[in-house]
Structure 1
Amino acid sequence: MGLLSVAVVQRLPLWSPVVLAYLLPVALGLAGFMALLTTLSTAALASLSSLLGNLTLFALIVLFVALGAWRKVPVYEAFIDGAREGFDVAKGLLPYLVAMLCAVGVFRASGALGYVLDGIRWCVTTLGADARFVDALPTALVKPFSGSAARAMLIETMQTQGVDSFAALAAATVQGSTETTFYVLAVYFGAVGIHRARHAVGCALLAELAGVIAAIMVCYRFFG
């Protein structure tokens, strides 16, 4: 959904044969991989995801080092320079980070989050649908503002609902399927002096919504 919204706003030629030649194999590969996952048991799925995650991280590190050596880049020195510049960037980001975390804290402490969840739960139950996923929505609602606050909501859900409960599983899946949209826009746009976000907010929120919906659907598919 995020890709489609950006394509519409930017008038990107998604139906171009060249673009389709890149997108279709990726889409078919992902669909096939998801179909494979549906045939695995919970234990096998956990083992496979852990193995793939570890291999991916290790492969990325090896790839960076190999590319640096191939291009004759002093990898260690470049890493040190990047780390040094990172401290300077962090100092510039700190005011925006403090402002965003304060806003999230006010939202949680005011009780507004509880009212929002009660309204969503009432709407879902009125429609006759399963409302178990509503208990996982605090993570989804807070994640666009702060990753640390979303993790706190995730831990709170696990403590109140149980680690193996559907709400906890859904919240954990949402945590990994969404992004800190407003945090990124406020911090990084502010750091580089961009004051007009234009279509970035709308497209990012559409992608965020798609991630939440997909996470909930996957949880219902795998965990019932």
Structure 2
Amino acid sequence: MFEYITKSIIPIIIIIIITYGMIKGRKVYEWFIEGAKEGLKVCINIFPYLLAMIIAVNIFREAKLLDILNNMISPIAGVIGLPKEVIPLVLIKPLSGSGAMGILTDILKNYGPDSYIGLIASVIMGTTETIFYTVTVYFGAVQIKKVRHTVWAALLADMTAIIVSIFIVLRFLI
């Protein structure tokens, strides 16, 4: 029963909204069409920024910069208890959610989901954000050129999430 409700919650919400709009005498279909048109315009506006971000991530990977950064950061990361194996996830996650998901998948395959490394990687994946992707796409879509303190605040939030992730995993493993 619960599984049926879970799978049908979105259609139920849509039906409720359409029914409510029809009862109130609103032009539900016309508003839907207008929303779809605006959505396509947003997609067209976002596409160049998205393409630039994808190209930047691919250059980062192909140039082996990830391996170089991993070796440079691992001594510092060891001080806070971050395993060397999780550093690539920490470096890629602000750039690409799908790239981070690929790294998380590799970590879980190699070390297991219940290992210290797997648990930290999982918590970090769930608590951090794709900062540069989000800023690039959404700020670009509304033509904001100066991001001011957004990137620094987001990076600080991600660093906090990483440190707290390590603390939480250690706390619940012990």
TM-score category of the 2 structures, normalised to the smaller one: 0.7 to 0.9
Per the alignment, residue 157 of structure 2 pairs with 207
Per the alignment, residue 45 of structure 1 pairs with none
Q: Do structure 1's residue 222 and structure 2's residue 160 form an aligned pair?
A: no
Give the Å deviation of 1:203: 1.4
Q: Do structure 1's residue 105 and structure 2's residue 58 form an aligned pair?
A: yes
Name the % identity: 36
Give the Å deviation of 1:79: 5.3
Where structure 1 has 5 or more consecutive residues not aligned to the other structure, the ranges are: 1-53
Per the alignment, residue 118 of structure 2 pairs with 168
* Alpha carbons of structure 1 residues 191 and 170: separation in structure 2 relative to 1, 3 Å: same
Q: Do structure 1's residue 148 and structure 2's residue 98 form an aligned pair?
A: yes
Q: Normalising to structure 1: TM-score of the pair?
A: 0.61
Alignment counterpart, residue 192 of structure 1, candidates 139, 142, 161? 142
1:38-77 pair list within 5 angstroms = 65=16, 69=20, 72=24, 77=29
Alignment counterpart, residue 47 of structure 2, candidates 84, 87, 94? 94
CA RMSD of aligned residues (A): 3.3
1:110-129 pair list within 5 angstroms = 110-125=63-78, 127=79
Contact 1:137 1:171 in 2 (8 A): no
* Alpha carbons of structure 1 residues 216 and 69: separation in structure 2 relative to 1, 3 Å: farther
Where structure 2 has 5 or more consecutive residues not aligned to the other structure, the ranges are: 1-5
| In 2, Cα distance between equivalents of 1:154 and 1:112 | 18
Give the Å deviation of 1:83: 4.0
Q: Normalising to structure 2: TM-score of the pair?
A: 0.76
Contact 2:113 2:119 in 1 (8 A): yes
* Alpha carbons of structure 1 residues 223 and 138: separation in structure 2 relative to 1, 3 Å: farther
